[in-house]
Structure 1
Amino acid sequence: MIENWLLELLWAIGRFFIHPLFYLFFLISLFYGMLRVKRERNSFHIRVQDLYDEMKFTYTKGLLMGLFVSVFIFALGLSLPFGTVVILAIITALLSFTLQLRWLSAAFTIGLTLLAVAFIPERFDSFFVGFSGTSLASLSILAGVLVIAEGILVMRTAHQKTSPSLKTSTRGLPIGFHQANRTWMLPLLLLVPGGDLTSTLAWWPMLSINGEPFLLLVIPFFLGFSQRVQGSLPQESIKVTGLRVVWLGVLTLVLAIGSIWWTPLAIMAVIVAMLGREFITIRQRINDVSAAFYFSKRDQGLMVLGILPHSPAERMNLVVGEMIMKVNGYSVHTVDEFYQALQKNRAFCKLEVVDINGEIRFAQRALYDGEHHELGILFVQDHKKWEDEAV
């Protein structure tokens, strides 16, 4: 019995690596990396992260969450017919082609899959094998769990390495903003009716389909997220969005659990998820646009818009959103003044910084050949000579 389960698990892992979405998102991640590099070069004549940052993020940051979700749905014995898994893959691929990562929220991919299963005529069952036997309750519960997982991932990782850029305000002044375009791959372990495995436990699977034998299937499930931030720090804004998504997932899951006893609640759950997810996006945009520009020229000091990786500025623990007030004891207001103050001491750099909590601190380190020219700080500046430069 154990040997059968282990062999089936190996087959499930093998099926994971032949799933088309696993390779499609290599291309999508690479495409978004190219767009980001082009945008950063237009703003600063230099890229911030390398071309493959999105790809590395996609295929690493969701692994642990995928394990947790898989354990949860496996413990429930939640099963989906193979045809439903195929429909989910098709819908995910179609939404990815829109190049709008927010449509890759679980609210939309799972929600549209459930609506398709609910309303596609049963005569298509021969093409999407077994989809007509899908438990809508199981699918809606999966939607709720994955929306919660999405919110947690947004809170914990989406704010990391956001991409800084420059644009011109309606008043003709340069302002900075941060863009987060993120996807996560979650490896999900599903039970699919029609295999050779059976359970000897009377209570498991709890959400099985007609008590049929099943096989194991590991699929790459992709989540997407996109948010632009110009009215606050990226970390603060994105974490608020993530928390809202978590609460939306909880509401979806509560409705989905109710659908075990009254099936129409499953459709209501995913509709609430889709409308709620879009409402969260619209609300964030309205709040961000109505707020004062966070990354703009100030009367005193220079606002840090971005930090280049592996640069002296990163080793000095400078972070986005801090204000540099003095360099080597000289007050600075423009990039010109910043550069001139650096030349006062070519072997040492001491910065007076106001951190994001409004407290003054000092950052200092020795400089080596060439470093006084390139500390690795990105600023917003009025003067055309400097506004597009990394300092």
Structure 2
Amino acid sequence: MDVALELLWNVTDALVQLLTQPFYYISILFILVFYRQQMLMERKLFHVRLHSWGLQAWRTVIGGLAAGIGVSIVMAFVGFSLTQEAIICIWVVTLMLLLIGVRYLCLAYTVGVLGVLQFILGFFPNWQPDSLIGTTTDTVRALDIPALVILVGILHLVEAILVKRQSTSLAMPLFIESKRGKLVGGFQMQFFWPLPLFLMIPAQTAGNLLSWTPLLGGEGWASGFSMLALPVMIGFSDLTQSMLPQNKAKITFKRLLFYSVILLLIGLLSVWWSPLMIVAALACFLLHMGMEWMSRIEEQHQHSLFVHATQGLRVLSVVPKSPADELGIVPGETVLKVNGVLLHSQEQLHRALRMNAAFCKLEILNLAGESKFLQRPMYAGDHHQLGVILAPDQDVSDVARLNPANIYLIIGMKLNTRKRSILRGHDSALVNVGTGAGVRTDTRVEADTSTRTGSNMSTLSVLPQDTTLAIVETAATQTDEIKAELRDEIKAETMKVTSTHGSDVAKVKATLKDAEATNTDEVIKYPWDR
């Protein structure tokens, strides 16, 4: 009974420590800002909000809280040795790594760096600097690296479970450019969880003894126990364009599981053989980086999933509570027909939906390649594409950057996107010249020019302004040359008409005069077609 009361008192004391420390609040604030930026990015790319940043943050915090309680229970049997100075040291290194890159916001990188520092300080046992540097040096030397490595292994075992359970709801769709410059759809799978840990440590003064002996700590538990609050962050960054988020999560789950087992084994071995501590520290961040590197290599050698097929339009995502969501359409499926119209472009989708403003019939190819037929009445206020976010066409103007996000972009709410200059060719070709300040110059070139010259005004990738203007000037010059050829043809045909129908000479001359005065924005027609 006394042990239970003391345990309850220590838990309450650790909870007060957690609430009085700034580190848990920093981690929650980061989560809020991170998902707020993601929501703004969704609006930029898709012009609609797909996720609620508040709900996403709530899911992450609750998941991290549950995981933290579970890890704390496990660590009560493992044992741990930690001080308040060590907690501050861990968070200082964590924040310094955060300034380098958001992807390093994980305890695995922090423990790896501290383990390497401790190994280096071991070569200078007599170095005892004064003031803050001396205190920091003593704190790093006193860190229980094997226990921290074991903690990282247990945390990533929990992270594997969180990735498998929450990745589908947390993954964010993107428009990105493949390595060949083609626009494709993809998903950013960047997850972070703040975990409050309540760690049982050997007491500094006499107290009640535990009814069990933790694995680590040895004789230190002879004087009793106390508890310490340690808020930590775990996270993983990945990007997929070749598979569905749930399938990618299964692969990530297996890799994280393997990673955690390796760390647990090396951590336990380093408890009994200290030379392995540097191996355990290096394994913390090198294996973590290796998982991310392996994923990137795999993505580069696989075909993009979220591109349009020869027939139908591929679904990238679905707006929650939209008609498509109600009909059960999921990412990866293909919208084959709408109201009986076989689709090849988003313009055809819009026209097909307008054929019947009150009702729509869909033919969908599911993930197994089988057709399913759906129908639904249309209501005022429904999404113009039924809530379907399609894989990108090649004339999309905003795409996500592939460079890693950094804390400065997140704090400043700056989106990790860029503008693309595009050239469309249907009834007219539109050249968009991006100046980098949101200014655009639009130049219209006659579609007849590309038809008569045998060239197709296809979509341009990002070009400098001078290069784009040169293309416009060249197209305009070719247009003038073609108009001159047309006038010569008109004159030649007019001479034939004149020689055959002398009485109509005046009428033909008048027609020719009208043709030459025709607006330059219209294609000149032959007199006999008027």
**In 2, distance between residues paired with 1:294 and 1:272?**
33
Alignment of 1:277-356 (within 5 A): 277-356=288-367
The CA deviation string for residues 354-382 of structure 1, in whole angstroms up to 9 with x for no partner, is 12222322333333223263521111243
Structure 2 counterpart of 1:233, from 244, 247, 251: 244
Structure 1, gaps ≥5 residues long: none
The structure in which a higher percent of residues are helix is 2
TM-score (norm 1): 0.88
Question: What residue identity is the alignment partner of 1:309?
Answer: P
Q: Is the 8 A contact 1:342 1:372 kept in 2?
A: no
After superposition, where does 1:1-391 map in structure 2 within 5 Å?
Answer: 1=2, 2-101=4-103, 103-120=104-121, 123=128, 126=135, 132-169=141-178, 173-196=182-205, 198-201=207-210, 203-208=212-217, 210-211=219-220, 212-371=223-382, 373-382=384-393, 384=395
C-alpha distance in 2 between matches for 1:246 and 1:125:
38
Rounded to whole Å, the distance in 2 between the matches of 1:161 and 1:345 is 35
Structure 2 contact 107–232 (Cα < 8 Å) conserved? no
Equivalent-residue separation in structure 2 for 1:385 and 1:127 (angstroms): 52
- The one of the two structures with greater contact order (alpha-carbon pairs below 8 A, sep at least 6) is 1
Structure 2: which amino acid aligns with 1:252?
Answer: L
Are the aligned partners of 2:313 and 2:390 in contact in 1 as well (CA < 8 Å)? Answer: yes
- Equivalent pair of 1:82/1:192 in contact (CA under 8 Å): no
Give deviations 1:225-249, integer Å, cap 9, x for gaps: 2111112222222321231121011
Post-superposition shift, 1:171?
Answer: 5.4
Decide whether the 8 Å contact of 1:322 with 1:355 is kept in 2. Answer: yes
Deviations 1:189-242 (A, max 9, x none): 212445556452475133126515442123222111211111222222232123
Q: May I ask how many residue pairs the two structures share in their alignment?
A: 387
Going from structure 1 to structure 2, the CA distance change for 1:330 and 1:305 (only over 3 Å counts) comes to same
Q: TM-score, structure 2 length as denominator?
A: 0.66
Partner AA of 1:371 in structure 2: D
Question: In structure 2, the residue corresponding to 1:160 is in which secondary structure?
Answer: helix
User: SS at the partner of 2:273?
Assistant: coil
Which secondary structure does the structure 2 equivalent of 1:181 belong to? strand
Looking at structure 2, the residues matched to 266 and 385 of structure 1 have their Cα atoms a distance apart, in angstroms, of 51
Partner Cα separation in structure 2 for residue 387 and residue 206 of structure 1: 54
Per-residue deviation, residues 229-281 of structure 1 (Å, max 9, x unmatched):
11222222232123112101101111111122112223212312321111111
Counterpart Cα distance in 2 of 1:118 and 1:40 = 45
* Deviation readout 1:111-156 (Å, 9 max, x if unpaired): 2233344545785674588664443332222122223222232233
Would the aligned equivalents of 2:75 and 2:200 in 1 still touch at CA under 8 Å?
no
**SS of alignment partner, residue 158 of structure 1:** helix
Alpha-carbon distance change, 31 to 252 in structure 1, aligned in 2, over 3 angstroms:
same
After superposition, the Cα gap between the structure-2 partners of 1:20 and 1:110, relative to the gap in structure 1 and judged at 3 Å, is: same
Take 1:386 and 1:374, find their aligned partners in 2: how far apart are those partners? 19
Aligned equivalents of 2:105, 2:253: Cα separation in 1: 15
Separation (CA, whole Å) in 1 of partners of 2:85 and 2:205:
18
RMSD: 2.8
Cα distance in structure 2, aligned partners of 1:132 and 1:213: 24
* Contact 1:66/1:188 (8 A) holds in 2: yes
| Distance in 1 separating the partners of 2:268 and 2:362 | 56
CA distance in 1, matches of 2:98, 2:58: 18
- Partners of 2:325 and 2:167 in 1: how far apart? 20
Where structure 2 has 5 or more consecutive residues not aligned to the other structure, the ranges are 400-530
Q: SS state of the match for residue 81, structure 2?
A: coil
What fraction of aligned residue pairs are identical, expressed as a percent? Answer: 30
The amino acid of 1:200's aligned partner reads L
**Contact residue 188 and residue 238 of structure 2 kept, 8 A:** yes
